Structure 1
Amino acid sequence: MKLVADNVEEMTIPDSVLHVLRQVAQAMASGKNVSIVTYNPELTTQQAADLLNVSRPHLIKLLEQGELPYIMVGTHRRVKFEDLTKYKQERDSKRRQLLDELIAESQDLGFYE
């Protein structure tokens, strides 16, 4: 597959990139937000906070409480991308579980019929 720009410049696209572009286009067509992140094994605290959609001070609090592991590079904290994605998946799973419990409790109390 080739990508052709307005100035007729052509660029061959690997199958792996084409697959990703299709997924992005499908997600956008269905109204979903799409983020593309370059892979860096270690993120700054601001980058990590941005990916979690939290403030940097809140992220620092999570680090200091031991909720999320980090390493020190000189005087700067770095969060491993792998640890961040694991934390995010666990956090999202807990949120879904709590929401399901809240809905079930509301139904038991007759708030939903």
Structure 2
Amino acid sequence: MDVPQVLAEIIFQAAEFLAEGRPVTVLPDEEMLSTQAAADILNVSRQYLVRLVDAGELPAEMVGSHRRLRATDVAAFKADRDAKRNSALDRLTSLSEDVDGYALGNKPR
């Protein structure tokens, strides 16, 4: 069975994430998500997600009285948030290393 290259790459990346114990969700780009589904993907509370939407940090559309978010917008927000988080952790690690924060047993009592 011939598999298109783009599909093979998706399967490979999903397999890597699963091997690391990370959850994988596959959604079409145009999929519209409820606030609860988007909150679950971002691993935040629904109320916090609604605050992000209301603050304009995450785009959403009103469908009747309900907010709906595009899967691509949620994925982009998650990627940006994770990149910022990793950068902050890298800076914190660097600062700790600069002051020998990881040296064991060197602290005066």
The verdict on a shared fold, with TM-score over 0.5 as the criterion, is yes
Say whether residues 1:41 and 2:47 are aligned partners: no
Q: 1:6 — aligned with what?
A: none
Unaligned ranges ≥5, structure 2:
104-109
2:75 matches 1:85 = yes
Higher relative contact order (CA 8 A, sep 6+): 2
CA distance in 2, matches of 1:37, 1:22: 10
% same residue: 39
- Supply the distance in 1 between the matched residues of 2:10 and 2:79 (Cα, whole angstroms): 24
Question: Within 5 A, what are the aligned runs for 1:1-113?
Answer: 1=1, 15-16=3-4, 19=8, 23=12, 24=14, 27-28=17-18, 30-39=19-28, 41-113=31-103
Unaligned runs of 5+ in 1: 2-13
| In 2: Cα distance, 1:90 partner to 1:67 partner | 11
Query: Any runs of at least 4 consecutive aligned residues in structure 1 with deviations exceeding 6 A, and if so which?
Result: none
C-alpha contact (below 8 Å) 2:33/2:71 kept by paired residues: yes
